[in-house]
Chain A
């Protein structure tokens, strides 16, 4: 280390003492779920990945409005349709002091697609990488991919040397029977370091004064304590009692209680998640229905009738207590620029009845709706409301609500798609429409090959063909046009019955200011505290 370097280190150390001499600001918050493994590739779940991006960073970053910003990559360009060049930020250091270079990016990309990773595909598995120099790396793709970097905020870059010396090259996979070091400790480049982690209970963070953007930081907190509190009432009580600066999610019925306090406020907004109903359009005979020998949902008039019978406004105002925005599409309007061209089919029970009569069901029929009761906001109540609305047009809906563990085991591919009418919520992981067409509208076979989450089995080859074009179209305007075309088809055919964009509700002390992102990710770097 040069003399100057030593001087810098010494003054940094003094700086550290100086700040600790001042009153330390700690931000305490609680979330419903828990943080288990710290390995950022073990579980593809927004909460886990989101909390870890305070410690690790991706090549890109997303701002408070989910806009794409430079992260560990300063800039990037598409040199050829299949070759992307990323210029990396210089002077970035991992928490252990190692330099961040192109090697770490390639290492992380390979680790991402390795056996046991739950993040496979976030970098296309057939991509190859070329290190141009220490701070430039090329991604060579098999086919063009305009949204290559969309999901990369939550793709954490890991230090190659550190992983190698700490036996953490291998991903801590779901099938592992022992912890790997990286599942218990973290070494990222981010603005916060993990100082203590008790899996499933709490995690403590401390600001990283060597962060590359320290000089321009927005936050003024020194410590963050995260606690998992699963019981809704206890979580809200912890906020009301002043023990917590923030808790989320807040149950809709408690929003008023929080807002009535002089020191607290409920921060609400639409989430990216769309809550919708799906209809079995694949089986020849519906499960748990009075109609035998045929499938009424194969008739578009029946699907339209169901749509007309549902009063989404009422669900949003009564059941969701206005914490939801009725939705015409299967994607949040945040994520699709032409969303305003689409409208819901009007609530019109008479028209629904007429359509049912026309389709040959003047007296309606009976069907069961499968519904989770602990997954989405007020999920079971929504199903009950739907049943009541359907009853008005002569359809008898029996509600079968189950805990999510049983529910998903039954309705997903692993359970053989055992449902004919169901409620589900979906957030496109890539924050892009292609995800919707591939997962929810893509044709599938009985084993789930194709649109794996297309539980109802909607299938239109035209949409599949458009989805393929959307995937590789680099021209933004053309791409938007293709996406709009595809939405036109699936909306006209009533492939699903979208209900609403679920609302987000965070309970926050008035002493702190946070940025609420529509993907429910809390970034510590936007937190300030009085």
Chain B
């Protein structure tokens, strides 16, 4: 087991540079943000929010890996747990919206005037 870990961690093995992970996370975050602003379906909007949370997770993990620090790994677990709770309440609200108006399109959800 220890040998396996050592082999995996050995400097000879080619590794994906941390920067790539950070760039991927930044791209995911921007896609999520863009999606929240432009998508019409409430469920897709909700998925985009989840994408943003996971981009943050990936950033935490990449930095934790870079620094050999456990805090980032633990943080990711907390975020996953919170995201699950958020998904439960979010889906319940989407169902409530669907029951009251038979649609989950964002442009239909505007009874209140500005």
Please determine whether chains A and B interact with each other in the same assembly.
no
Please list the residues of chain A having a beta carbon within 8 angstroms of any beta carbon in chain B. none
Residues of B within 8 A of A (CB): none
